[in-house]
Amino acid sequence: MTVSIWGVGTSMFGRQPARLPAQLAWDAIQEALEDAAVDGVDAAYVGTVFGAPGVAQRALSGVGITGIPIITVENACASGTTAFHEAHAAIAAGRYERVLALGIEQMSTLFDGPITPETTDSEQASGLLLPALYALSASRYMADYGMTLSDLAQVAVKNSRHGSLNPRAQRRRAVTEEEILSSRPIAEPLTLFQCAGLSDAAAAAVLGHERRDDRDVAIRASALKSGLAWDQASKHVWGFDVVADTSAIAYAQAGLGPDDIDVVELHDAFTIGELVTAEALGLAAPGQGASLVRSGEASLGGRRPINPSGGLLSRGHPLGATGLAQIAEITWQLRGEAGPRQVQGARTGLVETMGGGASGIDGNGCVVTILGG
C-alpha cells in the first residue's frame, strides 16, 4: 500500500522566545492541513525533545484537533522524523486513513549554550558536550584523510549560500570562508558558523493513502534504527555506522541506490556532520565527502545538491522540528515549489536525521526516508 505526503507546513525558524511552542505549532499545522486540502486527521504523532508534558495536546487543541489518538515521541534530534516514520507505519498497516506528523521545539528559553548531556552520563562528568564530540570526530577525520580547515569551512559556505535563499531560515546571509574560520571558537577545530544555532520552530506533514493528486509525494521508504554500542570495535567516527545501517534498509525498501537520489536533506548540526553523513549514505567514498562540496556537486546547480534549504547550519536546529522541516523541504523540491533554491528536475529525494546523546551508543536513533520517484 503506497503512503503519500498530502501536505506540509512549517513555522518560521529562529529565536522566538515570545511565542509559545503551541503557537509555533499552529503555523505548521494550519499550513499542512491547507496544503493537504483536509480539515482533520484520524491520529497525530508528535516529536519533541524538551517539550512540556501535554505540549502536543495543547498544540492540537488550539487548531480544533481533539478526540483522536495523540502519541508523543522523543528520539533526540530524530524526534520529528521518528514521528513521521510512525505515522507512515500506522497508515501502511491500515490503522488510519489520514495522520498528522508534527515536530515542535522551543529552545531559546531553555538554553544559552550547548545542550548538556544527561547528568548520569560519563560525557557530562568529563565535559564532552555534543560540540566537543563532533570536534573530536573532525580531528580524527582530518588525521585519517588529510581534510583541511578550509574543507570544513566550505560546507558552511555552501549551506549559508543556500540558506540565503530560504525565507524561513534563521541565518539568511551567505558567509565567506574567512568569516567562518575567524568566527568564535566553539570546540577546536569547529567555530561558531560551523555549528547549528539554537532555534524555535515547528514543522508538520499530513500523510495518507495514495490519492489522484499530482501534488502528493509518494513515500518510497522509511527506515528507523537506534545505534549499537559504540566502542573500539568500530573503525568509524561516532554516528557513521547507524546512518550507514539505516540507509541500507531504506535503499533496499525503495529498490534504489545512492546514484538514484536527486536531492538530499541531511543532518548537518556541525560541518563535519555533513561530510561524514554523506559518506555513510553512500554519496561519496570514505574520505571523499569534502570533494562533493569542492566540486560543486553538492551545491544548487550541481549533480546532487545537499541541503538546498541551508540545512541545520542555516535554517536552525529546533530538535523536534528539524526532521519534519527536512521532509517539508524535499516535498517542496519534488513538487517544484522551492522557488530560488529549486533543484531542477528533482524526482527522488532523501532525508536523513540522526539524534545522539545517550552515553556509549552510536546515536539514539536515525531515520532515513526516501520520497518521490
Grid-cell match 550541481, residue found: 302
Helix (H, G, I), strand (E, B) or coil at 341: helix
How does strand 200-209 pair with strand 3-10? antiparallel
Please classify residue 251 by burial: count the beta carbons closer than 10 Å to its beta carbon, then call 0-12 exposed, 13-18 middle and 19+ buried: buried
Best CA proximity match to 341, nearest among 263, 253, 227, 243: 263
Q: In the chain, which residue ranges form alpha helices assigned H by DSSP?
A: 21-36, 55-61, 79-92, 122-126, 130-145, 149-163, 177-182, 240-254, 271-280, 289-294, 311-315, 319-335
Q: So which residues are the catalytic ones? A: 77, 317
CB 265 within 8 A of CB 349: yes
For the chain, what is the radius of gyration of the CA atoms?
19
Residue type, 192: L
DSSP 353: E
- CA dist 307 → 80, 105, 299 (Å): 17, 21, 8
DSSP string, 281-311: TTSS-TT-HHHHHHTSTTSTTSSS-B-TT-H
- State how far the Cα of 109 lies from the Cα of 105, in Å rounded to an integer: 11
